[in-house]
A and B are shown apart, each in its own frame.
Chain A
Amino acid sequence: MAILAIVSTRTSPGSASPDWPQVRLHVVTGKGGTGKSTVAAALALALARSGRNVLLCEVEGRQGIARMFDVDPLPYAERRLAKGLLDETGHAGQVHALHIDPESALLEYLSIYYKLGRAGRALDKFGVIDFATTIAPGVRDVLLTGKVYEAVVRNSRNKDAITYDAVVLDAPPTGRIAQFLGVNSELAGLARVGPIKSQADKVMDLLRSPRTAVHLVTVLEEMPVQETADGIAELRAAGLPVGGVVVNQVRPRDIGPAALEQIRAGEVDGEAVAAELTRARVDCDAALVDHLLAEARDHAVRRELEEEQHEVVAALDVPTYELPRLAGGVDRGGLLDLAALMREQGLA
């Protein structure tokens, strides 16, 4: 009990995510190409404030975390990855990373829960491990979610392991997320009794509880937004808690709505623009003005489409967060910038 008391003071409400104070497991999904891994990494940096420990997990075998943070490929072991984003008082927490592969997860699972020893090796020799991780339906997803579960519910009784204040899962894409998270309920249905069923039930209990939030990353284009809406419906149908929608790669807002309207209508005074450019000491001719206006028209069309999709997202009736498109790509500095925006908006 004393230990519990210490734990609870450490995770005082003030240091948790303002919008998601109860959440320990942040699942980040999104359609391919929307930047879900970037968002997951930035979220981990944002959550790691004031001495908090955050674990960032990836499960798709791509080593995306290692690339983003420019470190060696991650093993199946928790590694210190980066300091979190500093808070107002100049303090930061620590982000750890874990690359979960099904085979290692299975071997670990067997040795922890069943203390199989020789029998475990026999399973391997018989091709059972190989079968379970490559052919058997769904076992991969069971193992991956099982390991995430272990990291979330771990407590200080487990002396050798770090306990985390939050776990961020860079999860499979939106189209597969409900299936991925729901795999344990499938399994619990297959195994009506026995240890597998109770394990599967426990994992589902966590995933369906207010301690979990599934955030969906999208960009303001028709297909990803549609998929986000479908994903939310599927998650709700499966009883999984929907978190926020993170609108990523939002185009710059340097040109206001009135000017955009003018540009779309082709009513911009080219000579006035030319005069302004000359005043700014740009070597300017009519062709340059035409090119800039052509680029602006292209931008205006896209902005209009973004606005349409923006309304669709707003109608989804879930908290939304916006992140800008970074023209130069996302490096470590960029991740910290995104993390700062997440804190400003209350996601972390």
Chain B
Amino acid sequence: MSTRTAPVLDIDALLDDRGTGIIVCCGSGGVGKTTTSAALALRAAERGRKVVVLTIDPARRLAQSMGIEELDNTPRPVPLSTSTSEEGGSLDAMMLDMKRTFDEVVESQANPEKAQQILQNPFYVALSSSFAGTQEYMAMEKLGQIHRQAQKDGTYDLIVVDTPPSRSALDFLDAPERLSSFLDGRFIRLLLAPARGPARLMTAGLSVVTNALTKILGAQVLRDMQTFVAAFDTLFGGFRQRAEKTFALLQADETAFLVVATPEPDAMREAEYFVDRLTDDDMPLAGLVVNRASPRPRTDLSAEEAITAGDRLRESDPESLAAGLLRLHADRVRIVERETQIRQRFAASHPQVATAVVPAMAGDVHDLEGLREIGELLAGPAGA
């Protein structure tokens, strides 16, 4: 077994580098992405950066402490100490409203009459509010918007983005390609055929497909879809352009991706997936954050010794406190051993990925003080 350890991820260097304009945190659900994003943003602000953090679904109390429990889809200032503002730092936070973001895109791209037509289409309503996948695109859309705004008026010099908790969080990387293949494909011609009229477009192949779709979907659904696509037609080009721009922005040197995980097999496997996917797409990966690592025992009493001794005590006194302490210790040693092994496995297959390990805190984090503490742990001993 290799005992390779990963190079250390220097969080403060990343935050202090004025060349870092965007930090994207991704990883599977329940690994503490939102908390990590918020803690990074707070730390950067207190080190003099003008920061905005875009979160997807923060825990209620965390959102409250940052003053963003209202979903109004615009960044709100988080009150920080005066010394922070004197040093030029600031922190804004916002929570993504997926539907609102989508509506705004439609409204900005189409004339009011057409926008209304789209906003009321049953397909659009389903697409923008309740179906999976839209969130990822909208998070990136919002990132693009905030970035353009920040470049224009200099409100922010660092944008921290939290991503939705699923593997499809990286679906936005496919968005330009998917939209292109759809727009250049033949399916859209079929959906647009009635709107564009001439029956001669209806080749034999097309009519087979149309008939099949009518059979499966029913004529009414197909008609709704066609109306939707026809209304959206002129907007699709704009969507593709925006998706391509966002892709380029994510690939730029100013962006840094952080993959977040916990030292659990599933979370680390997902982290590997994210790391590989980002590397394949030439996305700038800054490193891996391993949250909630169990604290190392400070004594080298082994798990086996502790168990044997504990059993010996329990034989004579089932209530023995020392026996309980020994069992606890054994449990902790085993967990730490397992976590170390999981991390080493990752480091062995991805030796180039810099890693920051954040020890578990006893309770949940729901105030700025807690976020500050996480920030310190993220920065590691060097940052303390």
B211, B299, B309: which contacts A291 (Cβ < 8 A)? B299
Nearest CB on B from A129, distance (A): 10
Contacts of B123 in A (CB 8 A): 137, 190
B332–A295 CB distance below 8 A: yes
Contact stretch, chosen from B6-14, B145-153, B265-273: B265-273
8 pairs, A vs B, C-beta closer than 8 Å = A67-B269, A191-B218, A222-B61, A223-B59, A252-B327, A276-B320, A282-B326, A301-B362
Contacts of A34 in B (CB 8 A): 30
B313–A33 CB distance below 8 A: no
Name the CB-closest residue of B to A192.
Answer: B220
B325–A293 CB distance below 8 A: yes
A137, A179, A180, A226: which contacts B60 (Cβ < 8 A)? A226
Q: Give residues 173-218 of B contacting A (CB, 8 Å).
A: 174, 178, 181-182, 185-187, 190, 205, 208-209, 211-213, 215-218
**Complexed CA–CA distance, A277 and B18 (Å):** 55
Interface SS of chain A = helix
A138, A172, A192, A259: which contacts B321 (Cβ < 8 A)? A259
**Complexed CA–CA distance, A140 and B166 (Å):** 15
Contacts of B80 in A (CB 8 A): none
Verify if A62 is at the interface (C-beta below 8 Å from B): yes
**Complexed CA–CA distance, A31 and B262 (Å):** 14
Contact stretch, chosen from A158-166, A193-201, A207-215, A337-345: A193-201
Contacts of A190 in B (CB 8 A): 122-123, 126, 221, 224
**Complexed CA–CA distance, A170 and B265 (Å):** 17
B59–A292 CB distance below 8 A: no
A122–B185 CB distance below 8 A: no
A138–B186 CB distance below 8 A: no
**Complexed CA–CA distance, A282 and B190 (Å):** 79
The 8 A CB mask of B238-277 against A (1 = contact, 0 = none) is 0000000000000000000000001011110110000000
Query: Given known contacts A32-B28, A119-B212, A276-B321, is B309 in contact with A282 (CB within 8 Å)?
Result: yes
Contacts of A192 in B (CB 8 A): 220
Name the CB-closest residue of B to A197.
Answer: B218
B165–A32 CB distance below 8 A: yes
Name the CB-closest residue of B to A252.
Answer: B331
Contacts of B212 in A (CB 8 A): 114, 116, 119-120, 122-123
Contacts of A31 in B (CB 8 A): 29-30
The 8 A CB mask of A214-244 against B (1 = contact, 0 = none) is 0000000111101000000000000000000
A32–B30 CB distance below 8 A: yes
Q: Give residues 279-311 of A contacting B (CB, 8 Å).
A: 279-282, 287-288, 291-296, 298-299, 301-302, 305
Query: Given known contacts A118-B208, A291-B298, is B221 in contact with A226 (CB within 8 Å)?
Result: no
- The count of chain A contact residues (Cβ–Cβ below 8 Å) is 82
Name the CB-closest residue of A to B331.
Answer: A327
Contacts of A254 in B (CB 8 A): 323-324, 327-328
Contacts of B166 in A (CB 8 A): 60, 172-173, 176
Verify if A183 is at the interface (C-beta below 8 Å from B): yes
Verify if A94 is at the interface (C-beta below 8 Å from B): no
**Complexed CA–CA distance, A171 and B186 (Å):** 34
Verify if A77 is at the interface (C-beta below 8 Å from B): no
Verify if A131 is at the interface (C-beta below 8 Å from B): yes
**Complexed CA–CA distance, A179 and B134 (Å):** 13
Verify if A318 is at the interface (C-beta below 8 Å from B): no
Nearest CB on B from A310, distance (A): 15
